[in-house]
Structure 1
Amino acid sequence: MATSKRPAAKKKCGPCRGTGEISRPVQVGRKRRTVGHQTGMCLKCFGTGQAATT
């Protein structure tokens, strides 16, 4: 009888928690006051949301 193996579950990326996006604070002025957040692609997983294998 053959046994079926499930593919291993891929781990989520740590910094973006699997979403593929990271938000950074936006600062303006001489006092560097925070006025909001800007969303961008996660550079650790390049937007895939999965942890790197190496």
Structure 2
Amino acid sequence: MARRKVTVPESPKCPVCKGTGEVSRTVRVGRKRHAVGAQTGLCLNCLGSGDAPAD
């Protein structure tokens, strides 16, 4: 008896982080709030999973 290969449907990617689970934010410092760099953080849309949230 031959086994069948089961294909699992791929879940859609999160549109905000594009499937990575992380997003970049600009870091601002000082009284005039000038930008000094970027910092990565957890995507709040998918909570870091990379999958599109359910409706």
Q: Where on the TM-score scale, by shorter chain, does this alignment land: which range? A: 0.7 to 0.9
Q: Find the aligned partners of 1:36 and 1:14 in 2 and give their Cα distance.
A: 24
Per-residue CA deviation, residues 16-38 of structure 1 (Å, 9 max, x unaligned), is 01000011000011111000011
Q: 2:32 is matched with which residue?
A: 31
Q: Percent identity?
A: 51
- Point out where structure 2 has 5 or more consecutive residues left out of the alignment: none
Structure 1 segment 1-54 matched on structure 2, within 5 A:
6-54=7-55
CA RMSD of aligned residues (A): 1.6
4+ residue segments displaced more than 2 Å: 4-8
- Point out where structure 1 has 5 or more consecutive residues left out of the alignment: none
Q: TM-score with structure 1 length normalisation?
A: 0.82
Q: TM-score with structure 2 length normalisation?
A: 0.81
